[in-house]
Chain A
Amino acid sequence: MSHDQHFRVWRGDSDKGELVDYPVLVNEGEVVLDIIHRLQQTEAQDLAVRWNCKAGKCGSCSVEINGRPRLACMTRMSTFEEDEVITVTPLRTFPVIRDLVTDVSFNYTKAREIPSFAPPEGVEPGEYRMAQVDVERSQEFRKCIECYLCQNTCHVVRDHEENKENFAGPRYLMRIAELDMHPLDAADRKEAAQEEHGLGYCNITKCCTEVCPEHIKITDNALIPLKERVVDRKYDPLVWLGSKIGIGRKSTKG
């Protein structure tokens, strides 16, 4: 079964751009990326789009479809009505290069700002010993494909360009949570999460979780636990008192 569908695709660059209308053929079983490719083969041969695996695992084809941050390769055409207008735009949080391709280097910068895994002193590679139960929790976060849909949808930077400098974004706060929960990571990351990476900007409105194509519970399992760990360190008078009089741990690396 095939039908014609009305597509509106944003065309332009960092100076200017507009939504351009295209009537385009849609076949049964196709996804939005298939339609974008059909446009490239027919009416818009110079249309720029970033893509790679077509299986929802490389995180390249992140765009906004009818205003919602999605992977174009995982958005089935069957989820739309045949007479619906489908609007495809680039991610709105990052600088646009051309058409549907954006410059996501903000995320690479933020990734580099996080100190890497730090084993305890005297433990050499090859000597790491961990119980499965201790690493299980953070394995959820390793499912991240770095599509940056969460970084794009987070209103802290989406609606406030000026916050980019001070806010790492959900993907990288999740990375800090992963390392902080790691049984063999000896670095203290709580203070830095709050002071340097902008954890306080997160107001847990859960859009990162809503758009995650890997269904990682970013807010419930990474950001809120990290906020609670910061509370342990910075705002808990019982912990403070305990550490002053010598009972209880100063660190929560229990």
Chain B
Amino acid sequence: MSSTTDASAARAQIAARTLRTDRWWLPPLATFIAFTAWVAYATVRSFMQEYYYVAEYNYLTPFYSPCVSVGCVPEASHLGQFLPDVWWLPYAAVSLPFLLLFRLTCYYYRKAYYRAFWLSPPACAVAEPHAKYTGETRFPLIMQNLHRYFFYIATAIALLNTYDAILSFTKADGSFGLGLGNIILVVNVVFLWGYSLSCHSCRSIIGGRLNHFSKHPVRYKLWGFVSRLNTKHMQYAWITLATLAFTDFYVMAVSAGWISDLRIVG
């Protein structure tokens, strides 16, 4: 157990683990449920290997971008097909692990899962259940310091998602089309950029690492912009979970024929 009431250290002897009277357990519980549900959905979808592409309108779900397995529908494969078609390999196996690592090492998600899953601590001034704590000083958690590399890769993938969204305005016959699916894909991409650019690593790379803003006026301006976005990083983290799942579900529903796409043009 933790040493919040450490008699040998002459701390005040208070038996209770916390004296908080508010519902401090609610936010970590909500985070736990939401993350677990999302990861379950994303895992099922990543390995499903169908209903990821609407050929007629060129809609490709972000969970299958880039589609690089030989099992992919050829029209959905912008970057070629070089991975074997086996059940245990997601069609987007070149992007999904990095997107997962980008979010796993994200400063906001770290806070959220350290609290909700590892209870370290479950909430402020609530004793954690662990006897020892070394934080991010040792392997494996010292690897959290690699966040910026996953940021670089995630930015490249966001570019790819943007390309997918733009491409979806061209229908299978080459003519222009606009439907609800396009709007959903574009909204998802806009929020993905919001999440990527508001990243703490991005903020540091853009200008936070400088000590003389006065010598770098352009980077200082960009740093100010990213800093404003950064205050909303948590919101973007949650919104993008929702838009990713919703976008994927919509493409699946149209692809499977459960619903038909609401068309505005064409």
Q: Which residues of B contact A211 (CB under 8 A)?
A: 124-125
Q: Is the CB of B211 within 8 A of A203?
A: no
Most buried by A among B9, B128, B231: B9
Q: Is the CB of A254 within 8 A of B125?
A: no
Bound-state CA distance A202–B114 (Å) is 11
B264: interface (CB < 8 Å): no
A68: interface (CB < 8 Å): yes
Q: Is the CB of A133 within 8 A of B114?
A: no
Give the contact stretch, choosing among B42-50, B61-69, B74-82, B133-141.
B133-141
Contact digits for B238-258, partner A, Cβ 8 Å, 1 yes 0 no: 000000000000000000000
B10: interface (CB < 8 Å): yes
Q: Is the CB of A252 within 8 A of B209?
A: yes
A-facing residues in B109-127 (Cβ within 8 Å) = 110-111, 114-115, 120-121, 124-127
Given A159-B2, A160-B3, A201-B137, decide whether A220 and B12 contact each other with a Cβ distance below 8 A.
no
B214: interface (CB < 8 Å): yes
A225: interface (CB < 8 Å): yes
Q: Is the CB of A225 within 8 A of B11?
A: no
Given A94-B11, A207-B124, A220-B230, decide whether A202 and B133 contact each other with a Cβ distance below 8 A.
no
A92 → chain B closest CB, angstroms: 5
Nearest residue, chain A, Cβ from B136: A200
Bound-state CA distance A118–B208 (Å) is 21
Bound-state CA distance A225–B205 (Å) is 10
Q: Is the CB of B107 within 8 A of A253?
A: no
Q: Is the CB of A134 within 8 A of B213?
A: yes
Most buried by B among A67, A95, A162, A183: A67
Q: Is the CB of B145 within 8 A of A198?
A: no
Bound-state CA distance A25–B96 (Å) is 61
Contact pick for B12, options A12, A210, A224, CB 8 Å = A12
B37: interface (CB < 8 Å): no
A13 → chain B closest CB, angstroms: 9
Bound-state CA distance A96–B141 (Å) is 34
Q: Is the CB of A228 within 8 A of B124?
A: no
A37: interface (CB < 8 Å): no
Q: Which residues of B contact A48 (CB under 8 A)?
A: none
A214: interface (CB < 8 Å): no
B-facing residues in A101-127 (Cβ within 8 Å) = 102-103
Contact digits for A214-254, partner B, Cβ 8 Å, 1 yes 0 no: 00000010001101111110111000000000000000111
- A interface residues, how many (CB within 8 angstroms): 65
A191 → chain B closest CB, angstroms: 14
Q: Is the CB of A254 within 8 A of B212?
A: yes
Q: Which residues of B contact A254 (CB under 8 A)?
A: 209-212, 215-216
B227 → chain A closest CB, angstroms: 9
Contact pick for B211, options A92, A134, A153, CB 8 Å = A134
Q: Which residues of B contact A23 (CB under 8 A)?
A: none
Contact digits for A54-68, partner B, Cβ 8 Å, 1 yes 0 no: 000000000010111
Contact pick for B14, options A89, A158, A252, CB 8 Å = A89
Bound-state CA distance A220–B199 (Å) is 11
B-facing residues in A153-174 (Cβ within 8 Å) = 153, 155-156, 158-163
Contact pick for A67, options B18, B121, B212, CB 8 Å = B18
A-facing residues in B134-152 (Cβ within 8 Å) = 134-138, 141-142, 145-148
Q: Which 4 A-B pairs have the closest CB atoms?
A: A159-B2, A67-B19, A67-B20, A228-B204
Taking A10-B12, A64-B125 as given, write out 16 further A-B residue pairs in contact, using a Cβ cutoff of 8 Å, ordered by the A residue number.
A67-B20, A153-B124, A155-B2, A155-B133, A159-B133, A161-B6, A161-B11, A200-B136, A200-B138, A203-B111, A203-B114, A203-B136, A204-B114, A220-B230, A235-B145, A254-B211
